[in-house]
Amino acid sequence: MAYKGIKLGTISSNQIFTTLNKWHGLNTALRRILNRNAFKTAVSDKVSGSGLWDRAVFALSARSNAEEIDGVLGFEEKGKSLSIEEASYFREAIVALRLAKEVIKVQQGWRGNAIADLNRSGRFSRSLANSCTDWPCLLFDLLSQAAEIDHFQPKLVINNIEILRNAMLTDDSTVCGSMYHDSLIWRIIALGANERCLPVVLVTSDSYYSYQAFMDFGFPDIFISRETFGWTPQEAKMHVVSDYFTHAEWMVIDDVLGPNPRHLFELYVLKQSNYYQKLMDNEASTFEDIVDAYLAYLQVTVVNPSMEKALMLLQKFADDARSGKILDDRLRFGAPWRHPPSSKDHTTRLEWAKIQLMDFIQSLVNTEFGINYLADCSLEILDDPAAVALVEVGLLYAQRDPSFIRPISKGIQRCLVRWLVQERMQLSYRNLLQYLWQRVIRGRSYRHLMLQEGYNK
C-alpha cells in the first residue's frame, strides 16, 4: 500500500523524513548508515538532520538496483509518459522508504541486549515494545496522512490477529507476541484518537476483540464488532462450487456445516489429503464420511476445549457471586443461575457450572438455535452467564441487525448438540436428578425470544 501511495504521488521522501523524525532521533543512525556505505565525503557535525537524510538517500540510491525500483513503480507499464524529474521523484521516495526501514533496523539493533534481558526476566517495557512496532506504525502513519477521498483510500485487513496475541517467542530479536500485539493495537488507537488513521479491519473468530478488548484498551468506540460471520450460502456457493467442490458435495456441506469459510477451507485441505484418497478407494465410502470425520475433528479440537473454557468462566461467575461481586439485579428472583454454590469446593462449583451449561444448551435446542435477544426489549439473555460464556469463547455470536444470538455455524451447532448428549450420558444418578430438577423447576426457557416473523434466518 505504501508503494501504491508513492506511485500516486501522495507519499514523498520529505514526508517520510518528517514522519520518522517526529518519534525518532535520526542523526546518529544516519551517520552510522553513511559510514557503513563508505560515503567518501566527510560528514560535518554541523550538518542538519535533513541534510544527513538527503545524503543517506543519495548513498542508498547509488547501491540500489535501478531496474528493481522501476519494476516496483511499474515504469515499464507507463512507458515514456513520465519526465526525468517525475521519475526521479518517485525513485527517491522508494529509496527513502527503504532508508527509513534501515534506520529503524539500526536503532532496533542498539536495543538488542535490552530486549533479550526483557524476555529472560519477563518484565514489561512500553518503550522496548514500541520500538519493535516502529516499522508497521510508521507505515500506518504515512498511509493515514496520504489518504485522500476519491484518490487514495487505503484500508488494512488483518486476518487471524489472535495468532499474534498467542504467538510463542522463538528468539530474542523482538518482544513476546502478546506484548507486540498490545503495542501495535495501542499505537493504532493512539494514531486514530490523536491524529487520523486509515480503517483497520481485524478478521478473527476470537471474541476477545468484541467483548474484552475495548475494556483492556479503554476505547469502547474503537472496536466496532458483533456483525455477521462469514459468507451467505449464495456467496459461498459462488466461491467454492466447481473450483473446490462439486455441486453434490456442496449440498452436503451446506446442510451439515454451513457456509463458514474456515470449515470450507479445512474440509478442502482434508479432501486433498492422503486420508481422503484412502477413504475414497473403499467403494463403500462416500463424501459424507469425510464430512463426519471433519465434524469429529471439530468436536475434539474446537468445541470440547471451548466448552471447558466456558465451564471455567461459569465457575468464576459462581465464585464472584459468592464474594458479592455480582450485582443483585443480575441474581434477581426467578433467574436460573440465582443460587450458585456457596461452597469453595471445586467439584461442587464444576457440577453446578456443567448443569447450568447443559440447561442453556437444551434451551437453545428448544428455540431451534435462533434467539432474537431484542424481541421483548429486556436483554434478559445477556444477563445469563452461560450465554455470555459461550459468546466469549467464540461458539455463539451476537449480531446487531437482525439481533441474533446463535452458533457461528451449522457445524458448531451440531457439535454443541453432541456435547449435550455426551454429557447427559456421562452424568451420575445424583447429577442427573440435579439436572432434571434444574430443567423442571428453574430451567431456562427462551422460546419467547425465538426468531420473529420479518427476520431472515
Say if residue 272 is in the same domain as residue 414. Answer: no
Say if residue 4 is in the same domain as residue 145. Answer: yes
| Per-residue pLDDT, 454 | 40
Report which of residues 75 and 88 the model is more confident about.
88
Spatial CB neighbours of 267, under 8 Å, sequence gap ≥ 6: 253, 257, 290, 291, 294
Q: Is the pLDDT of residue 194 over 60?
A: yes
Q: Is 194 inside a domain boundary?
A: yes
Mean pLDDT, the chain, whole residue set = 83
Q: Which three cell numbers stand for residue 324?
A: 458479592
Residue 257 contacts residue 287 (beta carbons within 8 Å): no
Report which of residues 378 and 439 the model is more confident about.
439
Give the end of a domain, one of 158, 185, 217.
217
Taking the whole predicted model, whether its pTM rises above 0.85 is answered as no
Say if residue 133 is in the same domain as residue 240. Answer: no
Say if residue 336 is in the same domain as residue 204. Answer: no
Q: Is 297 inside a domain boundary?
A: no
Say if residue 270 is in the same domain as residue 371. Answer: no
Residue 207 contacts residue 237 (beta carbons within 8 Å): no
Mean pLDDT of 351-365: 91
Mean pLDDT of 421-442: 91
Spatial CB neighbours of 142, under 8 Å, sequence gap ≥ 6: 2, 5, 11, 15, 16, 19
Say if residue 160 is in the same domain as residue 268. Answer: no
Q: Is 115 inside a domain boundary?
A: yes
Residue 112 contacts residue 172 (beta carbons within 8 Å): yes
Q: Is the pLDDT of residue 282 over 80?
A: no
Q: Is 416 inside a domain boundary?
A: yes
pLDDT band at 226 (very low <50, low <70, confident <90, very high): very low
Q: What is the tens place of the pLDDT at every residue in 156-190?
A: 888 788 888 888 888 888 899 999 999 999 998 88
Q: Is the pLDDT of residue 19 over 70?
A: yes
Q: Return the amino acid letter for 271.
A: K
Q: Is 171 inside a domain boundary?
A: yes
Distance CA(101)–CA(105), nearest Å, equals: 6
Give how many domains the chain has, as a whole number: 3
Residue recorded with cell 451476537: 398
Residue 92 contacts residue 61 (beta carbons within 8 Å): yes
Helix ranges restricted to H, 221-340: 233-240, 247-256, 261-271, 274-281, 287-298, 304-322
Mean pLDDT of 380-392: 86
pLDDT band at 18 (very low <50, low <70, confident <90, very high): very high
Distances in whole angstroms, Cα of residue 446 to Cα of each of 11, 384, 451: 56, 11, 11
Residue 412 contacts residue 298 (beta carbons within 8 Å): yes
Say if residue 136 is in the same domain as residue 108. Answer: yes
Q: Is 228 inside a domain boundary?
A: no
Say if residue 13 is in the same domain as residue 151. Answer: yes
Say if residue 211 is in the same domain as residue 237. Answer: no
Give the end of a domain, one of 217, 250, 274.
217
Q: Is 227 inside a domain boundary?
A: no
Domain extent at residue 264 = 233-285
Mean pLDDT of 349-366: 91
Say if residue 68 is in the same domain as residue 187. Answer: yes
Give the end of a domain, one of 192, 217, 242.
217
Q: Is 437 inside a domain boundary?
A: yes
